[in-house]
Structure formats: structure tokens, C-alpha cells
Structure 1
Amino acid sequence: MTKPLSPLPKYLRLEAASVVVTLSKPTEFNGVTSDTISLRAPTVRDIRAASTTANGDEEQAELNLFASLAEVGTKDLEGMALKDYTRLQTGYFRLVHDDGI
């Protein structure tokens, strides 16, 4: 039996095929400052591509995947506050988690 997920954090808005993460501070993505970032739901192809381009580096694979899903550069993600990157990771987990429905 799997443990049920905790209530959705206030900084996340989960949609059918994406998640919107509200950041703790505005951050620049692709030259535009925003207080949110969205991730679309990944495909198997996305996962494979991110892994292939990372050459065995799991952290780089995650950065590659998130950058692809958010349509931003990896350097933009690396410039995020750690608190906001953790929010992004949480959003990704909630997006891909099988809720049993």
C-alpha cells in the first residue's frame, strides 16, 4: 500500500498535463523575469533524452529534464534560489506521481 500524498503546497497549481510553481522571489528565465515557472508533463522520450545528454550525471540529467519541460535554459535553472529549485522538484514529483485515480 502506498502512502497518500500530503495536501498540495500553496505554491503549486497542479493541472492535467502541467504544474505551475510560484517562486519565493522573481527569477529570470529566457531573459524575462517571472514569479512562476511551469513544467509540462514529461514523456518517456523526454526522460531518455535528458539522461542521454547527461553522460551518467544524475544532477545534470535532472537539470536537462526540467529545462526541457519548462522550455528554459539549464543556466536559468542553475541561477534559481535553492528554495525555489526545491519547489520545482516537488512540483515535478507531484506532476508525475500516480495518485491511484
Structure 2
Amino acid sequence: MPEAKKLETISVPLTYPIDINGVKVDVLTMRRPKVRDTRAAQQTSGGDDGEYEIHLFAALIGGAPSDLDALDMEDYDALQNAFRRFRSVRREANGGRGEDVRQASGAGAGGES
């Protein structure tokens, strides 16, 4: 069995596409969080947990917090699931690519929040 590696990115297909940086997207790619991402999100959130998460997720997908305001809650749940996977799941070697969070975790309508 090949050695398991940590996820580098996770693709999150959107049921309801949104604009990110002015471009309509139907898949968000979230990268692994770094300490600097969490520190920056803490500084800009003013101590509000919801704002912290939005700022952190925006940094991890390469968008702005205002872009994420347009997400349907089903898609936001999938984004939260993707973030949790960076902390707990290892993947089988698959060419160094990220893994689709809905295929891997079975998330979909009514996904975990």
C-alpha cells in the first residue's frame, strides 16, 4: 500500500455557482491552511467567529470574503467539510492532486455543518 500523504487541495463542486473575483465558478479549490492564514483571519475578524471563518475560507480559495456571502448554505456546508478534512484525513497517493470533497465524504444535500 502506498504511503498516505496529506491533502494539498480539495475541490468543492458548487450546486449553485457564484462569482469569485468577478468570474462565475462552479467548483472552489481550497488549499491547505497555514498559520499565517489563521493569524490574518483573526486580525481581520474583530473576534467574531463567523467573520473569522469567512475571512479564512476566502484566503484559502483565493477570493474575497464578500464573494462567499453569495454561497448557498448547502455549498457552504461542503466548504466547511472540506476545511475539516485538512485536519483529519489523509488520502491515498493519486498523482499529487486534491480530492473531491463530495465524492470522498459523501457530502451533498443536507451535508454536515
Distance 2:47 2:7 in 1: 31
> 1:98: Cα distance to partner?
5.3
**Taking structure 1 as the reference length, what is the TM-score of the superposition?**
0.78
Read off the aligned partner of 1:48 and give its amino acid letter. R
RMSD across aligned positions (CA): 1.5
Q: Name which of 23, 27, 31 aligns with 2:14.
A: 23
Distance 1:22 1:98 in 2: 19
Unaligned runs of 5+ residues in structure 1 are 1-14
Read off the aligned partner of 2:88 and give its amino acid letter. H
Count of residue pairs brought into register by the alignment: 85
> In the alignment, is residue 48 of structure 1 matched against residue 39 of structure 2?
yes
Read off the aligned partner of 1:67 and give its amino acid letter. A
Q: Deviations over 1:1-58 (max 9, x none)?
A: xxxxxxxxxxxxxx73111100112211111111100111011111111112111100
- Higher RCO by CA contacts (8 Å cutoff, separation 6 or greater): 2
**Taking structure 2 as the reference length, what is the TM-score of the superposition?**
0.70
Q: Name which of 87, 90, 94 aligns with 1:96.
A: 87
Runs of 4+ in 1 over 3 A off after TM superposition: none
> In the alignment, is residue 65 of structure 1 matched against residue 56 of structure 2?
yes
Q: Name which of 56, 75, 92 aligns with 2:66.
A: 75
